[in-house]
Chain A
């Protein structure tokens, strides 16, 4: 199949399993360059597994084309190196390391010192408090701060695509709104494409251009966010509100 026009990431027939349990069974997914895509669904629908399958964090089959390149043997290290930033479930905070060390490790694959510094300034522009608290152990930050640190750390990589796994998990409504507003800013100002897995469909649909609803490891519905949000049947059966 020819890649779609303007696609940054295109996954076809993605499967992934944990031992005997098949977590996703043939997911097709496209992230258009410069867009925000939401991956919705209930607990256990396969959102996390889809993200992990894209970066090869779990055993997976299917094709993934990223920026025109087919990723044959996918590993999380290589995914980071070609420009996919992954903010995992639970934020992936390196809790005993300082805020600053967390940021610097985000830029581990960026070899030019000047780009690291430029990137640093940009990220601190988004989160000025990072500079003030750079010596603090990252594990002592609040949940919302850790989520922002995780996003900041992923941005240090200068990713073309940012994968986020449930950024709203365990956070209050105000912080969740802030984080999603920030994702839109990052998307618009830095041109970073975003694929965000989220249980909180309302807030995700509000910023996403396009959405996929997963059900038991398959894509049940997909379409432009406005269409999904406006469709009563979809809302009742899949989004639960």
Chain B
């Protein structure tokens, strides 16, 4: 039983990372109707910035805050400078641009920091925490708390603030929103900024576990795709729930089903994508699109 509880918590920890990355994907998908393939590499790049700040002597949590800020400004700037020129182009063009960003960030990180794997300091205590007689990793619990707080704040922002409301309206009804005086282009840029922030936090949270290297997010982002598809690519709640289900599910499968083990976890995630797309293409929380003709 203890073992199961530990596995579930550890699954929730990775799951909350998948959830965050999936939310970042959903934020941009809802606003632009495209998958940002560079989302993982943006997260990786900002994680390197955090690492560099810590190397330069900044305390971990200060580096965390500074990186979040850099990620926000960087995300907004990326949208304004790189995405905006192709805003009106066909969606495939925008997707190709995000693939370009993917290679650009991967290459830049390798150029600046090298491709050698680095260890990343954990912001949490290293000794386990005893809860109800079971020892849980403080890293896992910390990741869960930070991710859930982040997701909660994002949700509050969208539900309770005027700007969040305007961003939702701009994503769903761009033409109508413009008539109300909302600058839709800037709302899009803010969305990129927020997605970059969520990604940066995920990167910093998972780096102590997967270690720092330019390819660190590539597996994570595949799980995030699976989580977003599972929850419904248009649904922020779905992304979070999908991420948590996937994290726990994959962890339990890998631990208790010998045939899957560590090696086939990623394949299991891909199987989730295929099965969901076949059985319920809108995902758990998505609404099937009804088109009037």
Hey, which bits of chain A sit against chain B, CB under 8 A?
Answer: 55, 57, 75-77, 79-81, 86, 88, 92-94, 96-97, 101, 104-106, 108-109, 153, 157
Contact = CB atoms under 8 A, between A and B. Distances in A.
A76 B178 contact: yes
A55 B175 CA distance: 12
A104 B165 contact: yes
Interface string B159-182: 000100110110011011111111
B181 A97 contact: no
A108 B184 CA distance: 12
Given A101-B165, A104-B162, A80 B181 contact: yes
- Select the residue from A81, A94, A106 with max chain B CB neighbours within 10 A: A94
A105 to B, nearest CB: 5
Contact of B169 (A76, A88, A105): A105
Contacts of B181: 77, 80-81, 108-109, 157
Contact of B177 (A79, A105, A157): A105
A75 B184 CA distance: 12
B280 interface: no
Given A76-B178, A105-B166, A108-B166, A94 B183 contact: no
Most B Cβ at <10 Å: residue of A55, A104, A105, A157: A105
B184 to A, nearest CB: 8
A77 B178 CA distance: 5
Given A94-B172, A105-B177, 17 more contacts: A75-B178, A77-B181, A77-B183, A77-B184, A80-B178, A80-B179, A80-B181, A88-B179, A92-B173, A92-B176, A97-B168, A105-B182, A106-B180, A108-B182, A109-B181, A153-B180, A157-B181
Nearest to B182: A108
Contact of A94 (B162, B176, B184): B176
